[in-house]
Chains A and B, each alone.
Chain A
Amino acid sequence: MPGFRSRLYRDDAVVLRVQKLGEADRIVTLLTRRHGRVRAVAKGVRKTSSRFGARLEPFGHVDVQLAEGRSLDIVSQAEGIALHGPISTDYPRYTAASAIAETAERLTPVEREPTLRLFLLTLGAMRALADDERPGSLVLDAYLLRAMGVAGWAPSLRECAVCGERGPHRGFSVPAGGCVCQRCRPPGAANPAPATLRLMAALASGDWAEAEASEPPIRRQASGLVAAHLQWHLERELRSLPLVDRT
């Protein structure tokens, strides 16, 4: 098109997904700081001579320059800020990062809608997994709980989800929206251990000292409730969640 020049823009982003395209190209799904979720073509990156192939790997934090395209944007430059490479050399953390990336993608159904809070949350979770300072499984559950908060459907962990009565309560019902008091308790509500709900509250609020003091059976129960709550709100199941290695 004469006189047509595609607009360039620059942003930093977490790489959520990388898919092969044709012979040597890739489609990268990026969660950017200011432009929301963006899908872009990275040309020639699978050739080993590519200038920026290594920088556009899943879970990394990158600085990118993109050219706006009709359906997909084109990556014109990419620099690594922190590539979070150690994630791929630890299988449980790799599977946790995959579930985080898929959740971020599913919580941003519309492309190019800015969501700074989700971006910061996703970047923080990937960084925590790469740094290996906390158990990967807890990082994942904390992420899922807070991401559900960004989406507006965090489970209620102290007050009754139905009437708002102050807890702690014993019952937990995914369809009701979290903890339920004796009066509001619907049929089929679960009875998690009180420590499980305390762990979930600690993860949601970032109280790592309390979270890391939890016992493995409590962590497993919390993971189950978090996953059930998440799946209830997502239309399709997350493919990566059953593959998370929580050992």
Chain B
Amino acid sequence: MYEGAIADLIDELGRLPGIGPKSAQRIAFYILGADPADVARLASVLKRVKDQVRFCAVCFNVAEEERCRICRDPRRSDEVICVVEEPKDVIAVERTGEFRGHYHVLGGAINPLEGIGPDNLKIRELMLRLRSGEVKELILATDPNTEGEATATYLALLIKPMGLSVTRLASGLPVGGDLEYADEITLGRAFEGRRSLDV
């Protein structure tokens, strides 16, 4: 067993997602043996990410100002919103170069087993954006798995009375995968072939 700072570091690292006790120990000892300048840079970037990066007030993507880079871009269409689960999905869709509208980041998918219901996601905020009347099409790009599909179904039902076009990314995206792992070509095709959701 370790004591003091190294034990604290192993504890903290072990709390990170995907890092077990062994990896935490390995990383801690790597940091202990690393160049002080490298460690200082890591420490400062950790602090900066919490101090400076926040969530866009409009779409909940990561942002360094009140609104994210995409929401501030006047060249992007206000008529289409693409709904995704996480900020990393925005990056996946941007990589395809197929989409020139805006985003809405839900912050996850509806998952009752984990206690996540519609109220725990940015769904109310999405409804407020849609009421402004500028949006003509909503693309539901939640993950192609059970939770993502159920979330898309819930949103489609909720939005149906507003009379806008609601589409879902075309099949071809492998079920069970994460959107962020889809390659650009497959995801681009899924965008082109998006289908209307009839609920």
- Chain A residues close to B by CB (< 8 Å): 17-18, 20-24, 45-50, 53-59, 85, 87-91, 94-95, 98-99, 101-102, 239-240, 242-244
Contacts and interface: CB of A to CB of B under 8 A. Distances in A.
Contacts of B186: 48
A30 B177 CA distance: 19
Contacts of B176: 45-46, 50, 53-57
Contacts of B145: 18, 57
Contacts of B174: 48-50, 53-54
Interface stretch (B62-70, B71-79, B149-157): B149-157
Nearest to B117: A243
Contacts of B183: 48
Interface in B162-199: 173-178, 181-183, 186
A21 B23 CA distance: 14
B153 A94 contact: yes
Contacts of A50: 174, 176-177
A214 B110 CA distance: 30
Nearest to A17: B113
B66 to A, nearest CB: 30
Contacts of B111: 98
A48 B172 CA distance: 10
Nearest to A25: B18
Query: Interface of chain A, helix or strand or loop or mixed?
Result: mixed
Nearest to B23: A22
Interface residues of B, number: 27
Contacts of A56: 176
Nearest to A95: B112
Interface of B: 17-18, 110-115, 117, 145-147, 149-150, 153-154, 157, 173-178, 181-183, 186
B97 to A, nearest CB: 19
A22 B18 contact: yes
Given A21-B18, A99-B112, A244-B112, A48 B150 contact: no
A24 B112 contact: no
Contacts of A102: 112-113
Contacts of A87: 146
Contacts of B115: 239-240, 243
Contacts of A46: 176-178, 181
A88 B145 CA distance: 9
A57 B150 contact: no
B113 A94 contact: no
A42 B177 CA distance: 12
Nearest to A91: B154
A68 to B, nearest CB: 19
Nearest to B18: A22
Nearest to B150: A94
A239 B112 contact: yes
B150 A88 contact: yes
Q: Nearest 7 A-B pairs (CB), nearest first?
A: A53-B176, A240-B112, A22-B18, A239-B115, A98-B112, A48-B177, A54-B175
13 contacts: A17-B113, A45-B177, A46-B176, A48-B173, A48-B174, A50-B174, A53-B175, A53-B176, A53-B177, A88-B153, A94-B150, A94-B153, A98-B113
Given A58-B113, A99-B112, 9 more contacts: A20-B17, A24-B181, A47-B177, A58-B146, A94-B110, A101-B113, A239-B114, A240-B115, A243-B117
